[in-house]
A = this chain, B = another copy of it.
Amino acid sequence: MSLPLPQVATAAQVRAAARANAILSTSGLAPGYIQANLIVLPSRFAQDFRTLCARNPVPCPLLAESAYVGSYSALKSWISGITDEQLAGDLDIRTDAPRYNVYEGGTLVQSHVEDITSTWTPDHVAFLVGCSYSFEAALTAAALPPRHTVLDRVVPMYRSSLPLLPAGVFGGNKATFVVSMRPYPRSQIRTVRDVTRPYITTHGEPIAWGWDAVKALGIEDVNVPDWGEAPATTDGAPLVPGDEENIPVFWGCGVTPQEAVMRAQLPGIVMGHAPGHMIVLDVKDSDVLPAIASNAK
């Protein structure tokens, strides 16, 4: 007998299900709602992290943060045109992602725990960072579904050699962009760029494309990603360098700020969602895009 499937059509339902530990990955749940990467830092590092995001908005698009030091419920919005109150009703950052990781002094000490209530302190500040689900939905809607979704794989991600612009304690330690990759035929790249360009708060258009870009980004073998699963042709075969029907197209990736935080080896307790187990917001992609398109402040 299987458990009854929880209601997960809205963001509030996903958060409630996560709080009840009734779900795992949030991939595909509550379609159209914005999902966010979570990073929780001791307050003394908060301003440098904000500056890191302000200087590197493509890989580190800051959506929201704790309204005040220690707040796991009230958020301050960084999304143009979205108020604090619109972000997430009845929120508890400590429980509303399905799974969490906990780091101490830069070392993973707890993996895939159900909540972070016992490690959260009044000195912690939570940050929510945009993820690529938003523009992937747009690509699918434009009849350009990302290859990994067609093959039901996890998107391949790579540590690149492209430096992150430093900000205080972050980035001086040679932190670099993490990039995600989705192959497309040469003929579709222009449309892929156009479709993803407006998604400024969720990585926007590609940062590089083409077989030359693989080398330029310092990626040794595009078939061997650092995270996620291997890319493939539509038949599931490995990519072949030079193949114009499967050109690597790279985007900034939300794993970047987590990598930068880990590499900074901050003293104290740092927390985050377990990869794929995101915080889902009440804000929809459709709420955000008009604000982006007009580039309002």
A: residues with CB less than 8 A from B are 47, 50-51, 54-55, 57-58, 77-78, 80, 162-163, 165-168, 193, 197, 200, 204-208, 216, 252, 295, 297
Contacts and interface: CB of A to CB of B under 8 A. Distances in A.
Contacts of A206: 166
A141 B206 CA distance: 41
Given A51-B204, A55-B58, A78 B165 contact: no
Contacts of A208: 163, 166
B167 A197 contact: yes
B205 A167 contact: yes
Contacts of A78: 297
A123 B295 CA distance: 19
17 contacts: A50-B295, A51-B197, A51-B204, A51-B295, A54-B57, A54-B295, A55-B57, A55-B58, A80-B297, A163-B208, A163-B216, A165-B252, A166-B205, A167-B197, A167-B204, A168-B193, A168-B197
Contacts of A57: 54-55, 57
Contacts of A58: 55, 165
